[in-house]
Chain A
Amino acid sequence: MILKHWWKILSVLVLLYTFTVGMLVPLNSGIESVSPFKAKTGEVLELMVEGYNAHYLETKTGITAWLKLDSVYVLPAKNISVVSNTKLKATFDIPEFLPSEKKVQDATLIVNNEVDGSSLLPSAVFITQGAINETAGKNLAKKAESMQLYQRKGMTFPYRNLLAETIRNTYFHVPLWFGMMIILLISMIYGIRFLLTKETDYDLKSVAYTRVGLLFGILGIFTGALWAKYTWGAYWSWDVKQNMSAVALLIYMAYFVLRSSLDDQEQKARISAIYNIFAFLSLIPLLFIIPRLTDSLHPGNGGNPGLGKDDIDNTMRMVFYPAIIAWTLFGAWMALISYRIDRLSLWFFDDYLEEN
């Protein structure tokens, strides 16, 4: 019995792994915010720094900080005073000239200690130059290679400013959509197999998988909207990815309306299988192509982080890929139960009709 249902047990175990590891592994330390974010050359900058998941009070070798101007030059902090575990004040002597020709130079803040490793906040401070003298600036700044940066020990997930803990959504919201794609692909394949063989069994499986695929899609949109409320400010921003996802789901809802409008079993199966093919093929431009063509808030499009090498690292991949497989298998389990109920009803009605 166990051997027959091995994949269901596997899906549940991997889902449990996703939930526990996905939620328990801590995030890397980061910098949540700084204040002020503007500075002028030739002045002293007193920067209040708010850290995330930081342990400024627990460091033994002390904290160091720099303002990184570009890949070569940095400005070291002349003094750091710790206010709390997650708050510190870094004082910088901004020199007269910066090694740059730009009027306003944006600087990345790097905070470093042996407990948290090094955290950075890109474009943390904007420094306005008075007079511009690039050569003098190069002499006044320090070289980036003089920085001794620590690495935090232990497994962590990356910290991204806007996302913070919601980066864990990568294990829940995203695999639902990937799982949905695979499940809808399977439903299309069963539909095609029905068209080729006219066996009702394939049609029943196709419907069952479409049902679960639609459920995953609906859950995906709702969870996405919940996340969006606290990241973009509103549940629905008429963002192109949100809109296209809604259109895709409407197309699949229409599949069920189509089925219920037809009475003859064979006609119902045939027409809905053909509709299924078009519905699935429409997912590709709707979900993947159009959002990438325009500006979208959604991660993965419009220059936002997504699955690129900077935005998901190997620690996350360890949970992300198994999660996709687990949700797909779990969805298949749900689909098969739905299919078995439909098949039972057909068996019963077939028998019943035969007796009468």
Chain B
Amino acid sequence: MKRILYTFLFTLVFLCNTIGAQTADSTSLMRSDGKLYVVVGVIVMIFVGIVLFLIYLERKLTSLENQIKTNE
């Protein structure tokens, strides 16, 4: 449980840094094109969050399946 939580938090923070990273240059990628890529970043973030939830469910199900198998 702790491992899942830490992996989740680490991934989110990592993503924040990579997606949100910008150079000191004012025409960085995120600010170009009317800041469209900020919206792209938002969508990517949402998708990753849903995928992480999916992984959480997957792990729960797998451990349940294993418990059932060992108790048969």
Chain A contacts to B: CB under 8 angstroms: 19, 23, 27, 52-53, 163-166, 168-169, 172-173, 176, 212, 215, 218-219, 222-223, 225-227, 229-231, 235, 334, 337-338, 341, 344-345, 348, 352
Contacts and interface: CB of A to CB of B under 8 A. Distances in A.
Contact of A219 (B35, B45, B67): B45
Interface in B25-72: 30-31, 33-36, 38-39, 41-43, 45-46, 49-50, 53, 57, 60-61, 64, 67-68, 71
Nearest to B19: A226
A336 to B, nearest CB: 11
B61 to A, nearest CB: 6
A172 B34 contact: no
A219 B41 CA distance: 12
Most buried by A among B12, B35, B49, B67: B35
Contacts of A27: 34
B4 interface: no
Nearest to B68: A348
A215 B53 contact: yes
B19 A223 contact: no
A165 B49 contact: no
Contact of B39 (A23, A52, A212, A334): A23
Nearest to A32: B34
A226 B16 CA distance: 7
B35 to A, nearest CB: 5
Contacts of A163: 35
B20 A218 contact: no
A341 B38 contact: no
Given A341-B57, A352-B71, A169 B39 contact: yes
Given A19-B43, A166-B39, A219 B49 contact: yes
Nearest to B63: A345
Contacts of B68: 348
16 contacts: A163-B35, A165-B35, A166-B36, A168-B36, A169-B39, A169-B42, A215-B50, A219-B49, A226-B41, A229-B20, A229-B30, A338-B57, A341-B61, A344-B64, A348-B64, A348-B68
Given A23-B39, A176-B46, A348-B64, 13 more contacts: A19-B43, A165-B34, A165-B38, A219-B46, A226-B16, A226-B20, A229-B30, A230-B35, A230-B38, A231-B35, A235-B20, A341-B64, A352-B71
Given A337-B57, A348-B68, A230 B31 contact: yes
Size bin of chain B's contact surface:
20 to 34
A230 to B, nearest CB: 5
Contacts, number: 81
Interface of B: 12, 16, 19-20, 22, 30-31, 33-36, 38-39, 41-43, 45-46, 49-50, 53, 57, 60-61, 64, 67-68, 71
Contacts of B41: 226
B30 A225 contact: no
Q: Considering the complex of A and B, which 7 residue pairs feature the smallest CB-CB distances, nearest first?
A: A164-B34, A165-B34, A165-B36, A219-B49, A223-B42, A168-B39, A166-B35
Nearest to A168: B39
B60 A341 contact: yes
B19 to A, nearest CB: 7
A215 B49 contact: yes
Contacts of A212: 53
A251 B30 CA distance: 33
A218 B16 CA distance: 13
A163 B38 CA distance: 11
Contacts of B49: 215, 218-219, 222
Contact of B35 (A23, A164, A172, A223): A164
Contacts of B34: 27, 52-53, 164-166
B45 A223 contact: yes
A226 B36 contact: no
Most buried by A among B12, B39, B67: B39
